[in-house]
Homo-oligomer: A and B are copies of this chain.
Amino acid sequence: MKKIAVVLSGCGVFDGSEIHEATLTLLALSKNELEYECFAPDKEQYHVINHLTNEVSKEKRNILVESARIARGKIKPLSELHASDYNGVIFPGGHGAAKNLSSFGYATDNYEVDNEVARVIIEFHESRKPIAALCIAPVLIAKVLGGKLTIGNDKSTADKLTKLGANHIDKDYNEVAIDEKNLIITNPCYMLADNIYKVYTGVQVTVEAMMGLIKK
């Protein structure tokens, strides 16, 4: 049975993993009989957003502890993720990808990617194992590897990734950008989908494309 690592970044679209994208990633993996394990960095979130009022809260929360809510407790620190144990890795979206896994959300012109996240991306890349990223999470790959990818059709975001040397191509919610050379699969999810069923459509084509690349 093929085994996929899923990297979470908290629990909630505005300060962590987008819950629908993360859950539907697990669903699509399970539907396709792929085993999965969840990982997240064991460090404090950039901030906590009250998802009812959209205001920044004074609370402190830990990315791994909050991600454990999506993973039903079955999750490990990102430092324990090694490409040798998995056939591929997926990064769901949400502001957590842009605030906890990188600084893209608040330092877009010269953002950095978390060291452990960068290590994981490089390890999978060097092992010739596919890397998938949803929604805004392709910014992680653009910074670390470059490559052919999509975040949908938002010109301002796309331009920033192009400046880093990535090759951005516009894609709709139900399409994936596939970089056959670097084994990168990206899909816009909630960057373009206006309902949860459209998100699932995008996640499904992403997982199917990943299975195609694993076979090669």
Binding site for B on A (CB under 8 A): 11-14, 16, 18-20, 23-24, 26-27, 30-31, 50-54, 59, 64-66, 68-73, 75, 195-197, 200
Name 11 A/B residue pairs within 8 A (Cβ), A-sorted: A12-B69, A13-B73, A14-B73, A19-B23, A20-B23, A23-B196, A30-B195, A30-B196, A51-B66, A51-B71, A52-B73
- CB of A27 within 8 A of CB of B24, answer yes
Least CB distance, A15 to chain B, in whole angstroms:
9
Structural contact, A69 and B27, CB atoms closer than 8 A: no
Q: Are A26 and B196 touching (Cβ within 8 A)? A: yes
Contact of A65 (CB < 8 Å), options: B51, B71, B196? B51
Least Cβ–Cβ distance between A157 and chain B, in angstroms = 20
CB distance from A44 to the nearest CB of B (A): 14
Interfacial chain B residues near A24, Cβ < 8 Å: 23, 27
Our pick among B20, B30, B50, B69 for the contact of A72 (Cβ within 8 Å) is B20
Closest residue of B by beta carbon distance from A75: B52
